[in-house]
A and B are shown apart, each in its own frame.
Chain A
Amino acid sequence: MKPAIVILLSLPLMFNRAKPETALGDSGLAGMREIPAGRYRPFFRSVNESAIVKVKSFYMDVHAVTNAEFLQFVRANPQWARSKVARLFADENYLRQWAGDFEPGTQTPSNSPVTNVSWFAAAAYAKWKGKRLPTEAEWEYAAAAAPEGMQRNTRLTAIILGWYDHPTPTILPPVCSTYRNGFGLFDMHGLIWEWVADFNATVTRQDGQDGAAKRFSCAASSLGAADKEDYAAFMRYAFRGSLQASYTVASLGFRCARDNNH
């Protein structure tokens, strides 16, 4: 009898540990969730690369950065206003859906995710907040968690592909309007695409243009897909591979992450 009682008593403690709360005391972590350490299987990997990548525990924003939040950043850092931004850091469509430099306007509700922002702008926002962009491994790992209450016979991939099938609406819905996943994060799929810190880490281009270079290209550059059936993951990697850091896209926004030093 005794061992059973001990186990029962320790159960609530275990649950407590497994369920971090949003209000984490430190105000810098408000609106973030602690994501436990785990493993992630990259869709593409090099021949020499391990099939499994370990991801350390980190914090992730519960939802994507909104127009209202980005407006605060632009007000505090006017060099990132639409008419002022350096061309090196954002293309000509940067924040094009906004009505003006400091005016999101009627097409961009304050609580909808900000899009048409370059990687440089997203990274600068994150730095301003004392945060950073999540790595591709962190983002993919966090996004792989199933929606809360998902039916047993449903596959996350099917849900994602259903979203990919639909064109981006002119007026984006507000954040937290799709589903919350097992890590407590909203809209990881289903609302917008999101920048990651190292989106250029998938080497898609040939090393050489001539035949010899192709024959001898580094083994490290040869890529293999982990699961060729995962068309949704393929779409994300292909999309990232098509980006450059100054590009802006109407369906591409971001959320921030932070190290977990505990």
Chain B
Amino acid sequence: MMIPAFLLLSCHPRVATMPDSCCPGHPVTAAPDEPAVASNSIYQLDGRWTDENNRLVALQSLKGRVQLVAMIYTYCGYTCPRIIADMKAIRNNLPAGVRDQVGCVLVTLDPERDTPAQLREFAREQGLDSHWELLRGSAAQVRELSMVLNIQYANAGNGNISHSAGITVLDREGRIVRSLQGTGVAGTEVVAEVGRIAVP
């Protein structure tokens, strides 16, 4: 069934202007009973993802904390472990009180092989605690998220996925604060910046 996958490619929110005192005149998602989402928030992407515990989650559920987001795949031999090491380093170097305000999100580029069970096993191997969320979506969802996060990737065959390396720092509203490109990016300046935006 290729059609549904591709039709999902362009999921976009229904946006309407709400007379809301918090963000006057800004387009926000008009879903009832859901908090407003800023015009430049990635939480406007709708659709459900599956996490490592086989639960369905919306990106919106990440709202309220600063998030470090990366697109990886568990069979990646070199780059992805380094990206994860950077994320761990950024988080571990934050003051204890601030650390809990920062979550980490890994979205697989390989939804075919990275099943929830595989993601759970990977989280165990990597020692990722409950502050980490591992997500799996459809090929179309993954492509759309890569567009928002400005990550380049292609399936190169032979089980390899070529991809650019990067960590996206999201503020509590899901707005992109910083795109860290490459690996070895967990410098003191970055840690300080993440700490600054994480404190309410």
The residues of A with any CB-CB pair to B shorter than 8 Å are 46, 48-50, 79, 84-89, 119-120, 123-127, 130, 132-133, 197-198, 200-210, 212-213, 216-221, 223, 241, 244-245, 258-259, 261
**10 cross-chain pairs, A with B, having the tightest CB-CB distances, nearest first:** A123-B10, A220-B160, A245-B147, A209-B182, A79-B15, A201-B154, A127-B10, A132-B6, A46-B156, A205-B164
Q: Is the CB of A207 within 8 A of B183?
A: yes
Given known A-B contacts A48-B160, A208-B165, A245 and B148 have beta carbons under 8 A apart: yes
- Cβ-defined contact, A213 with B82, below 8 A: yes
Determine the distance from Cα of A219 to Cα of B157 in the docked complex, in whole angstroms.
12
Interface size class of B (residues with CB under 8 A): 35 or more
Q: Contact check: which of B76, B158, B163 meets A203 at CB < 8 Å?
A: B163
Residues 34-53 (chain B) with a chain A CB within 8 angstroms: 39-42, 44
Q: Is the CB of A86 within 8 A of B13?
A: yes
CB under 8 Å from chain A, chain B span 76-119: 76-79, 82
Given A88-B41, A88-B42, A198-B143, does the pair A203, B154 have CB atoms closer than 8 Å? yes
- Where the two chains meet, the residues of B that have a C-beta atom closer than 8 Å to any C-beta of A are 2-3, 6-7, 9-17, 27, 39-42, 44, 76-79, 82, 143-144, 146-148, 150-154, 156-158, 160-165, 181-185
The distance in angstroms between the C-alpha atoms of A125 and B165, with both chains bound, is: 30
Q: In the complex where A87-B39, A200-B147, A213-B184 touch, is A218 in contact with B6 (Cβ < 8 A)?
A: no
| CB-based nearest B residue for A216 | B78
C-alpha spacing A85/B163, complex, angstroms: 29
CB neighbours (8 Å) of B157 from chain A are 46, 48-50
Cα A209 to Cα B150 in complex, Å, equals 17
